[in-house]
Structure 1
Amino acid sequence: MRVARPAVLGGVRGMSQTTMQTCDSRCMHEQVQRPTLPAIVPCALVYLDYAAAASPNCRSADPSTYIRQAACLNRSLLAAGMPRLNVYTNAPDAVAAEWAALPDAAARPAVHLLTTTRSDLPKNTPFYAAHFKLDLMMQVAQTLPPDALFLLLDTDMVAMRGLDAALVARSARLGAGVFDISDQVFPAYGSERVIADLERVAGGPLVNPRWYGGEFLLCTQAFLALLVEQGRACFGRYLAAVRHLHHHGDEAFISAALCLLAQAGHAFVEVGAYQAVGRHWPGNTHRNLYWFSRCAFVHLPGSKSLIEREARRDKFDPACVWRALVWRHRLGRARAALKPFVRMATLPAWRRLLAPARRTGETKLEAAKRDISGNA
């Protein structure tokens, strides 16, 4: 049996010595000429307010669940070879106390006190805590080095692998990489309703309305400063119309701000097309599982308990997370497939339960008709 020789120069075989030397020289020259990628500064918000409305996607009434999620996110970042997570919070002591039990100090994210300015927001607003991302962005815009990239993440996500270097370079060149989820939001809620909310918050008609996910933003300090300026104006209009809007949370006014920046001529990289991030719901049919398996980050708003369970482990294991995600996905698909049959099976039972009341109502209606005809 012939044994294949090891591949040379990235799998290129059958080359002469002179050709290999020329190629080797060219590769070394390209390495010297290749620009250094900017440093990435991952950030996440942990806002604790026990009197405020909880996230509609969170079943737990305990806000400290986000503290544990942030610890899991940090572990996943480190496992993927990325920098440590920076957590901005209004309760640094509570966050530090929760993480004090972590045996590995490296597994603890860096904690920063959040300077808040959103005190006029009604506490019963859905996604109340997420609104304070604008405060986080304002704070980071003042301290982020010009040669670094700001990476905003939600706590209920995990890093499965590092970001693609070419994507990072494109985002740095254009100024921002954003996650466009219009294809998910528009069909789910109706494009007219979503666009009406966007234009109301933007303060006027939009040439190309888009909806951007709040779980991922990769941008330069210069772009972040522009987004904060536009976002503050949009938030003012959002706050004035908050009781009349169908959509609440940071995505509403940040999406409007990004639409206005795009309308002014700013270009972004759409990171979802590069599978930098994917938003996964158990049993969803928007994307198949293989697509999510190639994503650098996976957002799990419907699987927060999975993240909390992973947070209790000493080490983040992407393979273990993926197996659990596949199981939840299949269970969700099975549940979705059974729903119509369950509904059909229970419909006759409901009809039997309501039959006596229906007969009583019909009897009373007939009696009332006879009384009316008799009095006439």
Structure 2
Amino acid sequence: MNLFPCTLVYVDVDASPGPNSTNRDPLSYVSQAICLNNSLRQVGMPTLTIMTNAPALVAQRLDSMKTEHRPALVTLNATIELPKNTPFYAAHFKLDLMDQMADSLPTDTMLLLLDADMVALLPLERNLIERCAEAGIGAFDISDQVFPPYGSEQVVADLEIVAGKRLRNPRWYGGEFLLATPAALRRLVPRARASYARYISESGRVKHHGDEAFISAALNALVDEGQGLIEVGAYQAVGRHWPGNNYRDMRWFRCCSFVHLPGGKALLEKEARFAEFAPDRFWRRMRVAHLRGRVRHAVKRIARLLSVERLATWSAYAVRSVKS
């Protein structure tokens, strides 16, 4: 089974930037995709394809690169319409991307849909690829990162609202990684279109926004109907890393095939300036960013504690003043 690595770069200068994006350059995601493609080349994986609604603009950003080092470009047939201030606006168009790929991929090729703000550190294990090919879909279950902070009751409610039905075992899937055969995509896309329609019509009730909401709902519904799905996070196919977060030991990420850095976009854009991806250099910079994040987290915790202490002191003083 062959792989078709692909990422979405949707360009719209009038749309709100992603919540995790600090670079206001609408083509900053192209730089991230360049870094991702360089890392794919470094581990011997196929060239990345950028699917975009603005191929001419993206091509200009790639002009300075050697032809053999450039990502491929494909024009996205965008059909989705939604308010441009929608959180994660651009990510919604992954549904159009999957729809387009379902009808264009050869039967012996799986779509490997990746977010641009990722790097490849190791090739995907052949055994995992074969298992995903047999099941039809490989997805990244991040329920343990989503349920606790938002509350399982709220997350499950959102999934079932968008799915339009009760789900047997609701799970939340990260949008940064999806591995799917063309046949599985042709089953997933119509279900995801229906979930998307409910997601839009019920936007006032749903607390979570973005492609993960309606794609997760569709995947859950398909699994309930017997669709095979391999949870790739258990195989360390992908890990999601936030600078300073202690969710995982840093050494765990070193063994992942892909690392997603939603809070490390600037790091990836700097790495894109190099003609070749150097894992050791990247890893050193990632560790530095992580340590800085740890310091920021510690400072914020101390500031919160001091605020609580000041409030308690002021309250005690107010009570004494009233009594006197």
- TM-score normalised to structure 2 length: 0.94
Equivalent AA in structure 2 for residue 111 of structure 1: L
SS of 1:41's equivalent in the other structure is strand
Which of the residues 282, 289, 308 maps onto 2:269? 308
Which of the residues 86, 89, 93 maps onto 2:49? 86
User: Shift in Å at residue 342 of structure 1?
Assistant: 3.0
8 Å contact 2:38–2:275 — kept in the other structure? no
Equivalent AA in structure 2 for residue 294 of structure 1: C
Aligned sequence identity (%)? 53
Q: Distance in 1 between matches of 2:301 and 2:29?
A: 35
Question: Counterparts in 2 of 1:127-166, with a 5 A limit?
Answer: 127-166=88-127
Equivalent position of 2:289 in the other structure: 328
Equivalent position of 2:241 in the other structure: 280
Which of the residues 54, 65, 71 maps onto 2:28? 65
User: Taking structure 1 as reference, are residues 190 and 346 closer, same or farther at Cα in structure 2, changes over 3 Å only?
Assistant: closer
Q: Distance in 2 between matches of 1:273 and 1:293?
A: 14
Equivalent position of 1:219 in the other structure: 180
Equivalent position of 1:50 in the other structure: 13
Equivalent position of 1:237 in the other structure: 198
Q: Deviations over 1:2-55 (max 9, x none)?
A: xxxxxxxxxxxxxxxxxxxxxxxxxxxxxxxxxxxx110011000011111111
SS of 1:242's equivalent in the other structure is coil
Equivalent position of 1:109 in the other structure: 71
Number of residue pairs the alignment of both structures matches:
319
Q: Distance in 2 between matches of 1:244 and 1:254?
A: 17
Equivalent position of 1:20 in the other structure: none
- TM-score normalised to structure 1 length: 0.81
User: Shift in Å at residue 105 of structure 1?
Assistant: 1.4
User: Shift in Å at residue 347 of structure 1?
Assistant: 6.2
User: Shift in Å at residue 329 of structure 1?
Assistant: 1.4
Equivalent position of 1:13 in the other structure: none
Q: Distance in 2 between matches of 1:292 and 1:254?
A: 25
Structure 2 residue 162 is the aligned partner of structure 1 residue 201: yes
Which of the residues 179, 190, 193 maps onto 2:140? 179
Q: Distance in 2 between matches of 1:229 and 1:340?
A: 45
Q: Deviations over 1:185-228 (max 9, x none)?
A: 00111111111110000001111100000000111110011111
User: Shift in Å at residue 80 of structure 1?
Assistant: 0.9
Q: Distance in 2 between matches of 1:346 and 1:296?
A: 42
Q: Distance in 2 between matches of 1:57 and 1:315?
A: 26
Q: Distance in 2 between matches of 1:328 and 1:147?
A: 40
Q: Distance in 2 between matches of 1:351 and 1:198?
A: 40
5+ long unaligned stretches in structure 1? 1-37, 364-376
| Larger relative contact order (Cα-Cα within 8 Å, sequence gap ≥ 6) | 2
Q: Distance in 1 between matches of 2:299 and 2:83?
A: 39
User: Shift in Å at residue 59 of structure 1?
Assistant: 1.2
Equivalent position of 1:124 in the other structure: 85
Q: Distance in 2 between matches of 1:332 and 1:241?
A: 36
